[in-house]
Amino acid sequence: MITENTTRDEQLNTKLSKNSTIKESQFGSGYLTVIKNAGKSNEEVICKDVHNVLTAEGTAWVHDQCYIDNSGQTGGARYIGLSNDGSFTPDRDDDRASWEAVEENSNGLVRANADSAVFNAGVSSTYIATSTIVKTFTCDTGAVAGIRVSSLLNNTRASGTSILVHSATFTSVDLEVDDTLQVTWVITLY
Amino acid sequence: MAKFHGDTLCVICGTKIEHFEWEGELKNGRLIPAIPCEECKKTL
Ligand SMILES: [Zn+2]
């Protein structure tokens, strides 16, 4: 077990707060928080706890992996992607093909495995269990305008086999070279 | 008290830390702790 170290907490200096908007009636849901330049003097919270769309293919995949035959296991849905497509509005029928048609694929914003993925068993008063999945992207080659969608998939874009599980939109954000974008997905299942 | 487990990157060198556990909410409302890997711990 790890004891929190106050000195290093202060160094990290992030300002994420708890998921106060999660309600008990919500089941198997994803919530998205996006922070530009987290921990820097020009930090900007782009969105907080935006409720997701859980796709049909994602729902089927979760059921299959967890309850049915666990076939073709590729790993968790902890790969985070971004898009700046102005017309993409995720819905239940979206899938890998429709997502990859609009997905960022350069400038440091390529879909990537999470930096951190943590399970929280919750406390006995509520049993609200969550998985928190975090990736910080750095815009590295050229500026990118209008980033406004994030999705969770179960593999890299290069794999060509991933499943689109969760997706959510937010107020668009422009990134210059060296700007960071911290994307946090919190998934509840209880 | 809530129990947590997961993986993260070392706060100093960025190496992946495969599995760690802790109990209780973090300070400042943070969701993921900032921790060093075993190698970096030796240099502190
Ligand atoms: Zn280290």
Domain ranges of chain B: 3-43
- The answer to whether residue B29 scores a pLDDT higher than 80 is no
- The answer to whether residue A103 scores a pLDDT higher than 90 is yes
- The answer to whether residue B39 scores a pLDDT higher than 90 is yes
Taking contacts as CB-CB distances below 8 angstroms, the residues of chain A near B4 are 118-121
- The answer to whether residue A20 scores a pLDDT higher than 60 is no
**Rounded mean pLDDT of A4-31?**
50
CA distance B23 to chain A (A): 7
The pLDDT of residue A8: 41
pLDDT interval class at A11 (50, 70, 90): very low
A3, A123, A186 ranked by CB distance to B2: nearest: A123
Percent of chain A with pLDDT over 90: 71
Q: Residue A133: name the closest of A159, A152, A114, A148 by CA.
A: A114
Cα-to-centroid distance, A178 and ligand 1 (Å): 23
**Rounded mean pLDDT of A62-83?**
89
A9, A115, A119 ranked by CB distance to B27: nearest: A9
- The answer to whether residue A151 scores a pLDDT higher than 60 is yes
- The answer to whether residue B32 scores a pLDDT higher than 90 is no
The pLDDT of residue B2: 79
User: How many contacts does A have with B, using Cβ atoms within 8 A?
Assistant: 75
pLDDT interval class at A190 (50, 70, 90): low
- The answer to whether residue A65 scores a pLDDT higher than 80 is yes
**Rounded mean pLDDT of A44-68?**
93
Q: Is B1 on the interface with A (CB under 8 A)?
A: yes
The pLDDT of residue A75: 83
Q: Is B22 on the interface with A (CB under 8 A)?
A: yes
The pLDDT of residue A7: 42
Q: Are A21 and B32 in contact (CB under 8 A)?
A: no
Q: Is B4 on the interface with A (CB under 8 A)?
A: yes
pTM value surpassing 0.80: yes
- Locate all alpha helices (DSSP H) within chain A, ordered by sequence: 6-12, 56-67, 96-100
Token representation of residue A119: 């399970």
- Interface mutation vs chain B, best among A11, A116, A125, A127, most B CBs within 10 Å: A116
**Rounded mean pLDDT of A61-85?**
89
d(CA B44, CA B38): 10
Burial (Cβ within 10 Å: 0-12, 13-18, ≥19) of residue A110: middle
d(CA B20, CA A179): 29
B18 versus A70: the higher-pLDDT residue is B18
